[in-house]
Structure 1
Amino acid sequence: MSTPGERRTRRPTALEIATQWAQLPPEHLRVALEHLELELQREHARETARERLQAGLDVDRLREEHATERARIAAEERKEQHSHQLYLGGLVAGFVLAAGMLVGSVIVGLDGRQWLAGLLAGPSLIALPVVFVLRRSDRIGTRARLAAPPPDRLPADQAA
Protein backbone atom coordinates (compact mmCIF):
# COMPACT_ATOMS: atom_id res chain seq x y z
CA MET A 1 0.00 0.00 0.00
CA SER A 2 1.00 3.61 -0.13
CA THR A 3 1.79 6.07 2.60
CA PRO A 4 -0.73 8.80 3.58
CA GLY A 5 1.40 11.50 1.91
CA GLU A 6 1.38 9.60 -1.38
CA ARG A 7 -2.40 9.20 -1.24
CA ARG A 8 -2.87 12.95 -1.11
CA THR A 9 -0.62 13.67 -4.13
CA ARG A 10 -1.85 10.98 -6.51
CA ARG A 11 -5.27 9.84 -7.64
CA PRO A 12 -6.49 6.51 -6.24
CA THR A 13 -6.74 3.62 -8.64
CA ALA A 14 -9.99 1.80 -9.35
CA LEU A 15 -8.88 -1.14 -7.20
CA GLU A 16 -8.22 1.13 -4.22
CA ILE A 17 -11.65 2.72 -4.61
CA ALA A 18 -13.32 -0.71 -4.79
CA THR A 19 -11.41 -1.87 -1.70
CA GLN A 20 -12.56 1.17 0.28
CA TRP A 21 -16.17 0.72 -0.77
CA ALA A 22 -16.06 -3.01 -0.03
CA GLN A 23 -15.50 -2.21 3.63
CA LEU A 24 -18.91 -0.48 3.76
CA PRO A 25 -22.26 -2.29 4.16
CA PRO A 26 -23.63 -4.24 1.13
CA GLU A 27 -26.31 -1.65 0.30
CA HIS A 28 -23.52 0.74 -0.68
CA LEU A 29 -22.09 -1.76 -3.19
CA ARG A 30 -24.25 -0.44 -6.02
CA VAL A 31 -22.90 3.08 -5.43
CA ALA A 32 -19.34 1.72 -5.24
CA LEU A 33 -19.74 -0.06 -8.57
CA GLU A 34 -21.09 3.09 -10.20
CA HIS A 35 -18.09 5.04 -8.95
CA LEU A 36 -15.79 2.28 -10.11
CA GLU A 37 -17.38 2.34 -13.55
CA LEU A 38 -16.97 6.11 -13.80
CA GLU A 39 -13.31 5.88 -12.78
CA LEU A 40 -12.68 3.16 -15.34
CA GLN A 41 -14.34 5.27 -18.04
CA ARG A 42 -12.11 8.22 -17.15
CA GLU A 43 -9.00 6.02 -17.23
CA HIS A 44 -10.07 4.62 -20.57
CA ALA A 45 -10.66 8.12 -21.97
CA ARG A 46 -7.21 9.26 -20.78
CA GLU A 47 -5.54 6.19 -22.30
CA THR A 48 -7.41 6.65 -25.58
CA ALA A 49 -6.37 10.32 -25.72
CA ARG A 50 -2.77 9.32 -25.02
CA GLU A 51 -2.88 6.73 -27.81
CA ARG A 52 -4.38 9.27 -30.23
CA LEU A 53 -1.66 11.75 -29.35
CA GLN A 54 1.01 9.09 -29.91
CA ALA A 55 -0.59 8.11 -33.23
CA GLY A 56 -0.62 11.78 -34.26
CA LEU A 57 3.07 12.07 -33.42
CA ASP A 58 3.79 8.94 -35.46
CA VAL A 59 1.86 10.36 -38.41
CA ASP A 60 3.82 13.63 -38.18
CA ARG A 61 7.10 11.69 -38.12
CA LEU A 62 6.02 9.66 -41.16
CA ARG A 63 5.04 12.86 -42.99
CA GLU A 64 8.46 14.37 -42.29
CA GLU A 65 10.20 11.20 -43.51
CA HIS A 66 8.01 11.19 -46.61
CA ALA A 67 8.81 14.85 -47.35
CA THR A 68 12.53 14.17 -46.91
CA GLU A 69 12.33 11.18 -49.25
CA ARG A 70 10.46 13.23 -51.86
CA ALA A 71 13.11 15.95 -51.67
CA ARG A 72 15.89 13.36 -52.09
CA ILE A 73 14.15 11.81 -55.10
CA ALA A 74 13.58 15.24 -56.67
CA ALA A 75 17.28 16.08 -56.22
CA GLU A 76 18.27 12.78 -57.86
CA GLU A 77 15.92 13.46 -60.77
CA ARG A 78 17.39 16.94 -61.28
CA LYS A 79 20.89 15.48 -61.21
CA GLU A 80 19.95 12.80 -63.73
CA GLN A 81 18.25 15.36 -65.97
CA HIS A 82 21.33 17.60 -65.85
CA SER A 83 23.57 14.62 -66.67
CA HIS A 84 21.29 13.71 -69.59
CA GLN A 85 21.43 17.27 -70.92
CA LEU A 86 25.23 17.24 -70.74
CA TYR A 87 25.36 13.89 -72.55
CA LEU A 88 22.96 15.10 -75.23
CA GLY A 89 24.98 18.31 -75.64
CA GLY A 90 28.11 16.23 -76.12
CA LEU A 91 26.40 14.14 -78.78
CA VAL A 92 25.25 17.24 -80.67
CA ALA A 93 28.66 18.90 -80.37
CA GLY A 94 30.41 15.71 -81.56
CA PHE A 95 28.08 15.37 -84.54
CA VAL A 96 28.43 19.03 -85.51
CA LEU A 97 32.22 18.81 -85.18
CA ALA A 98 32.44 15.60 -87.24
CA ALA A 99 30.09 16.92 -89.93
CA GLY A 100 31.97 20.23 -90.07
CA MET A 101 35.30 18.46 -90.41
CA LEU A 102 33.97 16.23 -93.20
CA VAL A 103 32.45 19.18 -95.06
CA GLY A 104 35.66 21.15 -94.56
CA SER A 105 37.69 18.18 -95.78
CA VAL A 106 35.61 17.90 -98.97
CA ILE A 107 35.77 21.64 -99.63
CA VAL A 108 39.53 21.82 -99.05
CA GLY A 109 40.07 18.61 -101.06
CA LEU A 110 38.14 20.01 -104.03
CA ASP A 111 40.20 23.18 -103.75
CA GLY A 112 43.36 21.18 -104.44
CA ARG A 113 44.86 20.86 -100.93
CA GLN A 114 44.67 17.12 -100.40
CA TRP A 115 47.10 17.08 -97.46
CA LEU A 116 44.87 19.45 -95.48
CA ALA A 117 41.80 17.40 -96.47
CA GLY A 118 43.58 14.28 -95.20
CA LEU A 119 44.30 15.96 -91.86
CA LEU A 120 40.67 17.02 -91.46
CA ALA A 121 39.27 13.61 -92.48
CA GLY A 122 41.98 11.54 -90.78
CA PRO A 123 42.52 10.62 -87.14
CA SER A 124 41.35 13.98 -85.83
CA LEU A 125 37.88 13.26 -87.29
CA ILE A 126 37.68 10.27 -84.95
CA ALA A 127 39.54 11.69 -81.93
CA LEU A 128 37.68 14.97 -81.39
CA PRO A 129 34.12 13.61 -81.53
CA VAL A 130 35.14 10.79 -79.18
CA VAL A 131 36.22 13.41 -76.65
CA PHE A 132 32.84 15.17 -76.93
CA VAL A 133 30.57 12.12 -77.15
CA LEU A 134 32.25 9.63 -74.82
CA ARG A 135 33.93 12.25 -72.63
CA ARG A 136 37.12 10.23 -72.73
CA SER A 137 40.62 11.04 -73.72
CA ASP A 138 42.33 7.76 -72.84
CA ARG A 139 45.07 7.92 -75.41
CA ILE A 140 46.08 11.45 -74.44
CA GLY A 141 46.09 10.60 -70.73
CA THR A 142 47.98 7.34 -71.36
CA ARG A 143 50.66 9.10 -73.36
CA ALA A 144 51.14 11.69 -70.64
CA ARG A 145 51.47 8.99 -67.97
CA LEU A 146 53.86 6.87 -70.02
CA ALA A 147 56.12 9.76 -70.93
CA ALA A 148 59.23 10.03 -68.78
CA PRO A 149 59.30 12.96 -66.38
CA PRO A 150 61.64 15.80 -67.32
CA PRO A 151 65.14 15.42 -65.87
CA ASP A 152 64.73 18.42 -63.56
CA ARG A 153 61.58 16.83 -62.03
CA LEU A 154 63.00 13.41 -61.09
CA PRO A 155 62.23 12.22 -57.56
CA ALA A 156 65.07 12.59 -55.05
CA ASP A 157 65.82 8.85 -54.91
CA GLN A 158 66.23 8.66 -58.73
CA ALA A 159 68.47 11.68 -59.03
CA ALA A 160 71.81 10.88 -60.66
Structure 2
Amino acid sequence: MSDESLQRSPEEIALEHAKEWASLPAEHLRIAIKALDARSKRECERALKEMEYRHQLDIAGMAAAFVIALAAVGGAIFFGVRSDLWMAAVMLSPSCFVIMKLFITRTASKSDVLNSGAPINAVTQPGSPPPV
Protein backbone atom coordinates (compact mmCIF):
# COMPACT_ATOMS: atom_id res chain seq x y z
CA MET A 1 0.00 0.00 0.00
CA SER A 2 1.21 3.46 -0.76
CA ASP A 3 1.33 6.25 1.77
CA GLU A 4 -1.32 8.28 -0.04
CA SER A 5 -3.82 5.39 0.12
CA LEU A 6 -3.34 5.31 3.89
CA GLN A 7 -4.09 9.03 4.14
CA ARG A 8 -7.29 8.93 2.10
CA SER A 9 -10.62 8.33 3.74
CA PRO A 10 -12.45 5.03 3.26
CA GLU A 11 -15.18 6.85 1.33
CA GLU A 12 -12.68 8.16 -1.22
CA ILE A 13 -11.18 4.69 -1.68
CA ALA A 14 -14.64 3.14 -2.07
CA LEU A 15 -15.63 5.77 -4.64
CA GLU A 16 -12.45 5.07 -6.61
CA HIS A 17 -13.18 1.33 -6.61
CA ALA A 18 -16.79 1.94 -7.66
CA LYS A 19 -15.62 4.02 -10.61
CA GLU A 20 -13.24 1.23 -11.66
CA TRP A 21 -16.02 -1.37 -11.40
CA ALA A 22 -18.43 0.83 -13.37
CA SER A 23 -16.16 0.72 -16.40
CA LEU A 24 -16.18 -3.12 -16.54
CA PRO A 25 -18.56 -5.08 -18.79
CA ALA A 26 -21.50 -6.88 -17.18
CA GLU A 27 -20.01 -10.36 -17.72
CA HIS A 28 -16.86 -9.40 -15.81
CA LEU A 29 -18.99 -8.10 -12.96
CA ARG A 30 -20.94 -11.39 -12.78
CA ILE A 31 -17.69 -13.37 -12.56
CA ALA A 32 -16.28 -11.02 -9.92
CA ILE A 33 -19.46 -11.22 -7.82
CA LYS A 34 -19.39 -15.04 -7.99
CA ALA A 35 -15.76 -15.02 -6.86
CA LEU A 36 -16.57 -12.60 -4.03
CA ASP A 37 -19.56 -14.73 -3.03
CA ALA A 38 -17.38 -17.84 -2.81
CA ARG A 39 -14.76 -15.93 -0.83
CA SER A 40 -17.33 -14.57 1.62
CA LYS A 41 -18.79 -18.07 2.03
CA ARG A 42 -15.33 -19.44 2.89
CA GLU A 43 -14.74 -16.62 5.36
CA CYS A 44 -18.11 -17.28 6.99
CA GLU A 45 -17.35 -21.00 7.32
CA ARG A 46 -13.95 -20.22 8.81
CA ALA A 47 -15.52 -17.83 11.31
CA LEU A 48 -18.09 -20.46 12.31
CA LYS A 49 -15.36 -23.06 12.85
CA GLU A 50 -13.38 -20.57 14.92
CA MET A 51 -16.44 -19.80 17.05
CA GLU A 52 -17.04 -23.53 17.56
CA TYR A 53 -13.39 -24.01 18.56
CA ARG A 54 -13.58 -21.13 21.04
CA HIS A 55 -16.78 -22.58 22.49
CA GLN A 56 -15.06 -25.94 22.97
CA LEU A 57 -12.14 -24.18 24.68
CA ASP A 58 -14.55 -22.35 26.99
CA ILE A 59 -16.31 -25.57 27.95
CA ALA A 60 -13.00 -27.38 28.51
CA GLY A 61 -11.75 -24.49 30.66
CA MET A 62 -14.89 -24.53 32.79
CA ALA A 63 -14.65 -28.30 33.21
CA ALA A 64 -11.00 -28.04 34.23
CA ALA A 65 -11.81 -25.27 36.72
CA PHE A 66 -14.63 -27.39 38.17
CA VAL A 67 -12.26 -30.35 38.62
CA ILE A 68 -9.68 -28.10 40.30
CA ALA A 69 -12.35 -26.67 42.60
CA LEU A 70 -13.52 -30.15 43.57
CA ALA A 71 -9.94 -31.28 44.20
CA ALA A 72 -9.20 -28.18 46.30
CA VAL A 73 -12.31 -28.56 48.43
CA GLY A 74 -11.70 -32.30 48.76
CA GLY A 75 -8.09 -31.69 49.75
CA ALA A 76 -9.12 -29.05 52.27
CA ILE A 77 -11.62 -31.45 53.82
CA PHE A 78 -9.02 -34.24 53.88
CA PHE A 79 -6.40 -32.08 55.57
CA GLY A 80 -9.02 -30.56 57.88
CA VAL A 81 -10.09 -34.00 59.10
CA ARG A 82 -6.43 -34.86 59.73
CA SER A 83 -6.09 -31.61 61.78
CA ASP A 84 -3.59 -30.09 59.35
CA LEU A 85 -5.26 -26.69 59.22
CA TRP A 86 -2.37 -24.95 57.45
CA MET A 87 -2.56 -27.30 54.48
CA ALA A 88 -6.36 -27.02 54.46
CA ALA A 89 -5.99 -23.24 54.30
CA VAL A 90 -3.45 -23.51 51.48
CA MET A 91 -5.80 -25.78 49.53
CA LEU A 92 -8.48 -23.07 49.62
CA SER A 93 -6.07 -20.17 49.17
CA PRO A 94 -6.24 -17.54 46.43
CA SER A 95 -3.82 -19.63 44.36
CA CYS A 96 -6.59 -22.17 43.79
CA PHE A 97 -8.94 -19.43 42.64
CA VAL A 98 -6.28 -17.91 40.39
CA ILE A 99 -5.78 -21.28 38.69
CA MET A 100 -9.54 -21.61 38.20
CA LYS A 101 -9.68 -18.07 36.78
CA LEU A 102 -6.83 -18.94 34.44
CA PHE A 103 -8.71 -21.93 33.06
CA ILE A 104 -12.03 -20.10 32.73
CA THR A 105 -10.88 -16.76 31.29
CA ARG A 106 -7.57 -17.93 29.76
CA THR A 107 -5.91 -14.74 31.01
CA ALA A 108 -3.65 -14.00 33.96
CA SER A 109 -2.73 -10.64 35.41
CA LYS A 110 0.33 -9.72 37.43
CA SER A 111 -1.74 -9.18 40.57
CA ASP A 112 -3.18 -12.70 40.24
CA VAL A 113 0.29 -14.20 40.13
CA LEU A 114 1.42 -12.17 43.15
CA ASN A 115 -1.69 -13.08 45.15
CA SER A 116 -1.39 -16.76 44.32
CA GLY A 117 1.94 -17.12 46.10
CA ALA A 118 0.99 -15.15 49.21
CA PRO A 119 -0.38 -18.04 51.36
CA ILE A 120 2.56 -20.33 50.65
CA ASN A 121 5.00 -17.49 51.28
CA ALA A 122 3.31 -16.73 54.59
CA VAL A 123 3.65 -20.34 55.74
CA THR A 124 7.24 -20.79 54.59
CA GLN A 125 8.68 -17.45 55.80
CA PRO A 126 11.13 -17.65 58.69
CA GLY A 127 9.54 -16.45 61.89
CA SER A 128 6.03 -17.46 60.84
CA PRO A 129 3.99 -19.39 63.39
CA PRO A 130 4.70 -23.10 63.32
CA PRO A 131 2.11 -25.37 61.74
CA VAL A 132 -0.26 -26.98 64.24
Same fold (TM over 0.5): yes
Establish whether residue 125 from structure 1 lines up as the match of residue 93 from structure 2: no
Alpha-carbon distance, 1:142 to partner: 7.4
Q: Which residue in 2 is equivalent to 1:20? A: none
Q: Which residue matches 1:104?
A: 75
Q: CA deviation at 1:140?
A: 4.6
SS in 2 for 1:94: helix
Structure 2: which amino acid aligns with 1:81? Answer: E
Percent identity of paired positions between Structure 1 and Structure 2: 20
- Could you say what the CA RMSD is over the residues aligned between the two structures, in angstroms? 2.1
* Residue among 26, 29, 39 paired with 1:58: 29
Structure whose CA Rg is larger: 1
Structure 1, unaligned stretches of length 5 or more?
1-53, 144-160
- 1:90 corresponds in structure 2 to 61
Shift of 1:81: 1.4
Task: State the AA in 1 paired with 2:39.
Answer: T
Please, what TM-score do these two structures have when normalized by structure 1?
A: 0.50
The number of residue pairs the alignment matches comes to 90
1:80 aligns with 2:51: yes
Residue type matched to 2:55 in 1?
H
**What code does the residue aligned with 1:98 have?**
A
CA contact (8 A) 2:98 2:112 kept: no
List aligned pairs for 1:14-93, cutoff 5 A. 55-93=26-64
Contact 2:76 2:91 in 1 (8 A): yes
TM-score of the superposed pair, with normalisation by structure 2 = 0.59
Q: Which amino acid letter does the alignment assign opposite residue 47 of structure 2?
A: E
- Structure 2: 5+ residue runs without aligned partners? 1-24, 116-132
CA 1:80 to 1:111, structure 2 compared with 1: closer, same or farther past 3 Å?
same
Which structure has the higher relative contact order (CA within 8 Å, separation 6+)?
A: 2
CA drift of 1:75 comes to 1.0
**Residues 133 and 117 (structure 1 numbering): CA distance in 2 closer, same or farther, change over 3 Å?**
same
- Give the conservation status (yes or no) of the 8 Å contact 2:65–2:103: yes
Deviation at 1:109, TM superposition (A): 1.0
Matched, 1:113 2:80: no
